[in-house]
Amino acid sequence: MNWKLVIIGVLAGFMNVPLAARAAEGEEVNAIEIVMGHISDSYEWHITNIGEHELTLHLPVIVRSKDGWHCFSSSRLHGGHEYQGLHIASEGPYEGKIVERLADGSEHRPLDLSITKTTAGLFVNSLVLVVLILGVARWYRRHRSTSDAPGGFVGIMEMLITMLVDEVIEPCIGPNYRRFAPYLLTAFFFILINNLMGLIPIFPAGSNVTGNIAVTLVLAMATFLAVNLFGTKHYWKDVLWPDVPWWLKVPLPIMPFIEFIGLFTKPFALMIRLFANIMAGHSVILILTCIVFVTARMGAAVNGSMIVVSMLLSIFMNCLELLVAFLQAYVFTMLSAVFIGLAQESPHAEEEHSSESNSDVN
């Protein structure tokens, strides 16, 4: 265990080298800027600094402006340069985003399909996920399930999949669970891999994918579609004409309105929960790391003691984030399964459920 802690410490130390240099030179360290720089998206992927030289991966820019499509490397826009009428806004509502300058001098945000740092991280993580799952599937294709039992990584994956199917998907959805199992498993492993990769501070990992609201929005939309496209008649009847006293439905459709709003609040809660948890985790780790540099000017005694505090808290938060990475993937999958299961309920099943509840109460 000790050597793992040492490795984590050394990695954290490497991560802090550029900032330490800046702090030593007496330059003001803006913690908020550092944190926002790490958790927000960008058109280039800063890997590390080698001496004075910045090692950065410039990502492709794909933009559709007023005069058509543009595709070039983001290095063209590095340092505030303008290229093909496009530049990265340094202030205003589009700060940090590519804008085009119109003839009247105003800035217009074009359709931006650029491969940003988050997008590149998303591709890398997706590739990792596909390779892992197809690798596991390949093992199953090559072995007889009734004679060979998997070990190592495939064994862990089987344990996870079995746990999810037996403990979450089947109990929440019911007899139709096989239809939704691939989606829920994909969602779980997609979130888990992205969360875990976000905790590794070395390229090509380390991008804050699930801490980006666009990513969680698409995941929540996928659950929304799975719930509502495959919902039963009984589910829609419960939404549009719920089983409540009539005066809650006519003349004012209070309950149908609340139920209808509920269709959107469920995926909205999924989206915000995942986004907030992961973003907050990343922010806290970065802020704890920045303590070292913020206190650099406060003297050797204060700075030395704060380095120890910062390291210990960073290690603790990283361990906690490992738990959160799994927990958030699990919670997203479980809630998605619950919402899908609610949309799959038949009147017969509901009656059985209510009679069971009544007998429990009695």
Task: List the one residue out of 261, 252, 319 whose CA is nearest residue 285.
Answer: 319
**Interacting residue with other proteins among 35, 136, 172, 334 (CB under 8 A):** 136
Report d(CA 47, CA 215) in Å as an integer.
22
Alpha helices in 113-151 (DSSP H): 117-142
| 162: DSSP letter | H
List binders of other proteins among 53-82 (CB under 8 A).
62
Structure tokens at 304: 């030395």
The verdict on 45 binding other proteins (CB under 8 A) reads no
The verdict on 183 binding other proteins (CB under 8 A) reads yes
Task: List the one residue out of 197, 344, 231, 331 whose CA is nearest residue 271.
Answer: 331
Cβ distance to other proteins smaller for residue 48 or 186? 186
DSSP strands (E only) in the chain: 44-50, 53-58, 60-65, 68-73, 86-88, 98-101, 107-108, 111-112
List binders of other proteins among 148-177 (CB under 8 A).
149, 157-158, 161-162, 165
Element (H, E) at 272: helix 254-294
**Interacting residue with other proteins among 42, 44, 190, 274 (CB under 8 A):** 190
The verdict on 33 binding other proteins (CB under 8 A) reads no
Cβ distance to other proteins smaller for residue 11 or 268? 268
The verdict on 220 binding other proteins (CB under 8 A) reads no
Stretch that binds other proteins, among 27-35, 141-149, 241-249, 290-298 (CB under 8 A): 141-149
The verdict on 212 binding other proteins (CB under 8 A) reads yes
Does residue 198 contact residue 208 with C-beta atoms inside 8 Å?
yes
Cβ distance to other proteins smaller for residue 279 or 343? 279
Stretch that binds other proteins, among 142-150, 230-238, 259-267, 294-302 (CB under 8 A): 142-150
**Interacting residue with other proteins among 8, 15, 213, 338 (CB under 8 A):** 213
The verdict on 31 binding other proteins (CB under 8 A) reads no
Least distance (Å) from other proteins to the CB of residue 43? 10
Q: What are phi and psi of 53, to 5 degrees?
A: -85, 130
Structure tokens at 349: 């099943």
Does residue 23 contact residue 293 with C-beta atoms inside 8 Å?
yes
* Omega within 30 of 0 (cis) for the link into 251: yes
Q: Read out DSSP for 88-99?
A: E-SSSTTTTSEE
Amino acid at 167: E
Report d(CA 306, CA 40) in Å as an integer.
27
Report d(CA 36, CA 113) in Å as an integer.
22
The verdict on 277 binding other proteins (CB under 8 A) reads no
**Interacting residue with other proteins among 130, 163, 252, 298 (CB under 8 A):** 130
The verdict on 141 binding other proteins (CB under 8 A) reads yes
Least distance (Å) from other proteins to the CB of residue 340? 15
Contact positions vs other proteins (CB under 8 A): 39-41, 62, 95-97, 111-116, 118-119, 122-123, 126, 129-130, 133-134, 136-137, 140-141, 145-146, 149, 157-158, 161-162, 165, 178, 181-183, 185-186, 189-190, 212-215, 217-219, 221-222, 279
